[in-house]
Each structure stands twice: as C-alpha cells, then as structure tokens.
Amino acid sequence: MYILISCLSVNSVFGTAAFFPRLLTDLLSDTHSVSREACILQAFVIYSYAANENIILMLMAFDRYVAICKPLQYNNIMTPRVLSVLIAISWIYPMICLGIAGILNARLTMCGNKLWKVYCHNWEIVKKSSLDFRRKAYQTCIPHIVILLNFSVALFCEVTLSRFATLELPIGLSIILSLEFLIVPPILNPLVYGLNFPEIRKKILWIIKASK
C-alpha cells in the first residue's frame, strides 16, 4: 500500500510539472505563446498523468480489497513481483497509447493558432487541424458511433427485459425489443458502412434516378 501511495505522489509531481511551470511562465510573460511541439508534449504528459492516476487508484482499491477480504492470503497475492508488474503496466500502457496519439497529432496540418484553455489537450489540437482532416475523421467515426449506439441500446433493452421480466409491457413490444439486437444490426451495418463509400452512394443515386 505504501508503495502505491508513493507512486501516487510521484505521479502527482509528474502531472503538475507539465502544467504549473508553463502557467507561471505565461503569467510572468507578456506573450502567451507555446510551440507546437511543447503543446503536444504537455498534452501527452497531462493525459498520461490522468490515466496513471486512475490506474493507481484502482490498484489501491484492489490492494485494500485483498487486505480486507483475504488477509491471510495477502502476502501470497500481492507479492513484490506482482506489485512491480502492476505498477509498470500502470505507467507503460498509458504512455504507449498516448504516445501514439501524440505522434498522430504531430502529423496534423494546423489551420489555427489560438487555444481557449490554459493548457494543451488532444481535442484542442485536433480542432486546430485542417478542415479536410476533420471532415474525413467525422465520416470515419460517425458510422462506428451509430452502429455502437444501436447495438448497445438494443442489447441493454434485451438484458433489462430478461432481468426484469415482470415489466408490464405488451407482448408484441417485448418480442420486438428482445429481437432488435439480432435483426437490426445485421441490416443496418451494411447500409451505414456502405453509404460511407462514394462509389456505393453514386450507384444508389443512379438506381434511384433510373427507377423514376
């Protein structure tokens, strides 16, 4: 537990080191500017700090769970080797993921230079990228979001109906809701993803015009 508390303290220093020096520099300077590289680095450190904080807090909760619920097995479960591996994962995994995000951000073509926050973060950098990139990103992400929401809502309805079978719903509505996640996604997936391709959209428009 004490090792995890130490990791939490180190992570706090790591996170604040990316924010407060930059903030103090801006407060003491007449020009409030930051280079693109420094902005991406600050975003990487701040997001890494937040991810590490969450993971370390989860590890602390797991440590307390083992200590309270399995006190006689604590030393066998939370061995120094296990603890070292968990701590290493809590630092390395977020940095790898966010490092990839930082590399992708560095490749963006920027079309703006004003930030409306006191620190840099990924979405602010993406919003300053070229409109062409943002259009492509929206076209790529929106179909995934639509499919995910549809399947998640349908599956939630099925689980809710199965768990609370006493709900006073018409039998027809219950059947429709229970089958929605089996019927709608297979039909909706080809439509949503297919319409994302210009060739398919042109072909559909050609068929519609030809049928008139």
pLDDT, one tens digit per residue, over 102-121 is: 887 777 766 666 666 667 77
- The verdict on 94 and 185 lying in the same domain is no
Locus of tokens 């039909």: 187
Q: Is the pLDDT of residue 167 over 60?
A: no
pLDDT value at 144 more than 60: yes
Q: How many domains in the chain?
A: 2
Q: Let me know: does 56 contact 95? Beta carbons within 8 Å.
A: no
Does residue 139 share a domain with residue 88?
Answer: no
**Crossing angle for the helix pair 36-69 and 80-106, to the nearest 10 degrees:** 160
Spatial neighbors of 169 by CB under 8 A, at least 6 apart, are: 161, 177
154 & 96 share domain? no
- Whether 95 and 151 map to the same domain: the answer is no
Q: Which residue has the tokens 């030809």?
A: 210
- Integer CA distances (angstroms), 35 to 39, 114, 151, 212, in order: 6, 11, 42, 57
Rounded mean pLDDT, 142-146: 77
8 A C-beta contact, residue 62 and residue 127:
no
pLDDT band at 181 (very low <50, low <70, confident <90, very high): low
Which residue is listed with tokens 């020096």?
21
Are 38 and 123 in a shared domain? yes
198 is in which domain, residue-wise?
134-211
Distance separating alpha carbons of residues 171 and 43, to the nearest angstrom: 52
Q: Does residue 125 share a domain with residue 138?
A: no
- The encoded tokens of residue 72 equal 């006689």
pLDDT beyond 70 at 129 = no
Q: Which of 129, 161, 187 is the last residue of a domain?
A: 129
Residue 87 has pLDDT above 80, yes or no: yes
Residue 4 φ/ψ, nearest 5 degrees: -65, -40
Single residue among 100, 129, 158 that ends a domain in this structure: 129
Q: Which residue has the higher pLDDT, 34 or 99?
A: 99
What is the Cα Rg of the chain in Å? Answer: 25
User: How far apart, in whole angstroms, are the C-alpha atoms of residue 191 and residue 185?
Assistant: 10
Domain boundary among 103, 129, 155: 129
Q: Give yes or no: residues 119 and 41 share one domain.
A: yes
pLDDT at 49 over 80: yes
Domain shared by 72 and 54, yes or no:
yes
pLDDT(45) > 70: yes
Structure tokens at 177: 């809701």
| Shared domain check, 116 and 22 | yes
Reading the block at residue 26, the tokens are 């801006």
19-28, 126-135, 177-186, 198-207: least confident range: 126-135
**Judgement on whether residues 53 and 103 belong to the same structural domain of the protein:** yes
Q: Are residues 159 and 98 in the same domain?
A: no
Rounded to whole angstroms, the Cα distance separating 85 from 58 reads 14
Check: CB of residue 92 under 8 Å from CB of residue 127. Answer: no
Question: 168 to each of 135, 158, 173, 181, 205, how far by Cα in Å?
Answer: 45, 15, 10, 21, 44
Q: Identify whether residues 91 and 26 lie together within a single domain.
A: yes
